[in-house]
Amino acid sequence: MKDFEKRLDRLESLAERIKEPDIPLEEALDVFEEGMKLSKGLKKDLDRMQAKVQRLLSEPEDEGEAVLEDLDQEDGEESEV
């Protein structure tokens, strides 16, 4: 989760930078490109987290062993508690 938050912070700083009136065109293009890449990656992560929440909400409650999924791991990799 820390990685997600770091990338979100970076995106916010890029958004502030591109709003500056004195930013050179080349730098603005670089900032925009980096921001788009970050935005797409963050959206993918959010979609994955949303799908996980939906799965958890739709699972029937049982008294079995709890299985936690590390959000920083790829899909399919789970750790048992």
Query: Residue 18: its pLDDT value, please?
Result: 96
DSSP 67: E
pLDDT higher for 61 or 75?
A: 61
pTM above 0.75, yes or no: no
| 52, 61 contact by CB (below 8 A) | no
Burial 36-69 (b: 16+ CB within 10 A, else e): eebeeeeeebeeeeeeeeeeeeeeeeeeeeeeee
What is the per-residue pLDDT across 9-48, written as a single tens digit (0 to 9) for each?
999 999 999 999 999 999 999 999 999 999 999 999 999 9
Instruction: Give the end-to-end CA distance of the chain in Å, rounded to a whole number.
Output: 19
